[in-house]
Amino acid sequence: MTTRFASDTATLTGRSLSHVTRSPDTIITTVITPIAMMLLFVYVFGGAIDAGPGTDSYVDYLLPGILIITIASGVAYTAYRLFTDLQSGIFERFQSMPIARSSVLWAHVLTSLVANLVSLAVVIGVALLMGFRTGAGVLAWLAVIGILALFTLGLTWLAVIPGLTAKTLDGASAFSYPLIFLPFVSSAFVPTDSMPGPVRWFAENQPVTSIVNTIRALFAEQPVGNDVWVALGWCVGILVVAYALALATYHRKIA
């Protein structure tokens, strides 16, 4: 059963990835918004923002938040692809075939993971051209990649739900708008201690802040403290809850 699931998932992931490679505008569109924001904040607002001690340049401070926005932009395409597959009737065709049912969803999720990692690499490349520098070693980079991958998986499984339940194409992808907005009320762009009381409380107790702080510390070769455990807790928690809800929605809607 496990071998069949892995084989079916690999085959369907190849199908989904082929659609992405034939339409590279998906990745291009995904990175345009975060890169534009990075350019705007660094070259227009950067000189007026005090990112606090320990930060050599504002792009160093900003990049972790931009990476989160990149993921939020990218997972919207999972909902989009699921919705279009649902409308085309391909799910009914898959049901008539001897394949593992959940492999259809896993194929979309793994495609999102690969596409988002490529988008993140492009954004980091642009940041390097803009002056981003880090002395982080291999282990620190692996930790950053691991956290971003976990967060991507969690948000992607979250995207599966509107992809299966939305009534329109715009509705399927609109769920990502609050996710893109969330980094603006966090430590992604400015330290939270500059915010008024209620806003500061929200910023310090939502997932983006701990994830951003952890990535920023890893890049700066500073102690990550408790932020890493809070970040991992958020990532794993979102992943587990979103996965359970997505599977329940899939079985109710399709299976």
* Digit-coded pLDDT (tens) for 214-252: 999 999 889 888 999 999 999 999 999 999 999 888 888
On whether the CB atoms of residues 35 and 123 are closer than 8 A, the answer is yes
Q: Is residue 198 part of a domain?
A: no
Residue 186 lies in a domain: no
CB 153 within 8 A of CB 109: yes
**String of b and e for 124-152 (b: at least 16 CB within 10 Å)?**
bebbeebebebebeeebeebbeebbbbbb
Task: Give dist(CA 64, CA 183) in Å, integer.
Answer: 10
The position carrying tokens 């339940």 is 165
Residue 57 lies in a domain: yes
The angle, 0 to 180 degrees and rounded to 10, between the axes of the packed helices 207-219 and 227-253 is 130
Number of domains in the chain: 1
pLDDT of residue 208: 94
Query: Does the CA dihedral 239-206-215-226 come out positive or negative?
Result: negative
Question: Tens digit of pLDDT for each residue in 171-196?
Answer: 777 777 888 889 999 988 888 888 88
Banded pLDDT at 154 (limits 50, 70, 90):
very high
> Does any domain span residue 140?
yes
Range of the domain at 43: 2-176+211-253
pTM of the model: 0.88
Q: Is residue 124 part of a domain?
A: yes
- Residue pair 63/136 in contact (Cβ under 8 Å)? The answer is no
| Residue 90 domain-assigned (yes or no) | yes
Instruction: Tell whether 199 is covered by a domain.
Output: no
Whether residue 79 lies inside any domain: the answer is yes
Q: pLDDT tens digits, residue range 103-151?
A: 778 888 888 888 899 899 999 999 999 989 888 889 999 999 999 999 9
